[in-house]
Amino acid sequence: EPEVTQTPSHQVTQMGQEVILRCVPISNHLYFYWYRQILGQKVEFLVSFYNNEISEKSEIFDDQFSVERPDGSNFTLKIRSTKLEDSAMYFCASRGQAHNQPQHFGDGTRLSIL
Amino acid sequence: AQSVSQHNHHVILSEAASLELGCNYSYGGTVNLFWYVQYPGQHLQLLLKYFSGDPLVKGIKGFEAEFIKSKFSFNLRKPSVQWSDTAEYFCAVSLGSNTGKLIFGQGTTLQVKP
């Protein structure tokens, strides 16, 4: 079964540094998402992406965050200047065109900000 | 704001016991409902989904869930759990909008004792 893949599995970064989290969605999927889960808290929606643009973003997704689909297969989340509170598990998800398609999730990237 | 709540944070059962995990959501419009499972060290996997039709939904591994619209609930059930069901279970809702973003409950950790 096709899978969503995320790299790296664990990223350790100094506060203030830029970080890019990478995702390869399932190849025929058209909707892409990023979520995060701070330790001990709920999985929270960050952003959805469709047709090469952001379709919805949460209030968490401020100017420090950006997403890109640079080459038709990768889907990246960039955090420009990381803060301690950005430490979390970041999940990428994708789904197909049909309305009743569920989202498929990657294994996540654990981001640790020092 | 829309929210999803799961009543049980940590459930411990013996093998062969019956399981019911509660999930309630707050939204008056059309919703799509999901249960995801996360086995230790793995990604979120879809257990079952409800979009429309029969409110009793059957999923993988013997799980089922019932959508009760009047109670805004989507409880997960399994008649007889196995040790391999030890995992974290997430209820999630997407609204009738096209972006499909998921709103998650806080998750329930299920521990099944052999």
Look at B35 and A72; give whichever has higher pLDDT.
Answer: B35
Q: For residue A1, with 0-12 CB atoms within 10 Å meaning exposed, 13-18 middle and 19 or more buried, which class applies?
A: exposed
Contact B46 A102 (CB under 8 A): yes
Asked if residues A88 and A37 have their Cβ atoms less than 8 Å apart, the reply is: yes
Of the candidates B34, B42, B103, which has its C-beta nearest A45's C-beta?
B103
Asked if residues B42 and A107 have their Cβ atoms less than 8 Å apart, the reply is: yes
Identify the residue whose tokens are 């799961």.
B6
Please report the domains of chain B, with CATH numbers, ordered by start residue: 3-113 (2.60.40.10)
Q: Which residues of chain B have pLDDT under 50?
A: none
Contact B101 A45 (CB under 8 A): yes
Please report the domains of chain A, with CATH numbers, ordered by start residue: 5-113 (2.60.40.10)
Q: Which residues numbered 49-108 in A keep a CB inside 8 Å of some CB on B? A: 50, 55-56, 58, 91, 93, 95, 99-100, 102-108
- What pLDDT was estimated at residue B98? 60
- Residue A15 carries which DSSP code? T
Q: Which residues of B touch A35 (CB under 8 A)?
A: 102, 104
- Residue B81 carries which DSSP code? -
- What pLDDT was estimated at residue B8? 87
Residue of B nearest to A40 (CA): B106
Contact B105 A44 (CB under 8 A): no
Contact B102 A35 (CB under 8 A): yes
Beta bridge partners of B20: B77
Of the CA atoms within 13 Å of residue A112, those in its CB half-sphere come to 5
Characterize the bridge pairing of strands B73-78 and B31-38. unpaired
- What pLDDT was estimated at residue A100? 78
- What pLDDT was estimated at residue A107? 92
- What pLDDT was estimated at residue B97? 60
Beta-strand runs (E) in chain A = 5-7, 10-13, 19-24, 31-37, 43-50, 53-57, 65-68, 75-79, 88-95, 104-105, 109-113
For chain B, the distance separating the N- and C-terminal CA atoms, rounded to the nearest angstrom, is 41
Of the candidates A33, A48, A105, which has its C-beta nearest B43's C-beta?
A105
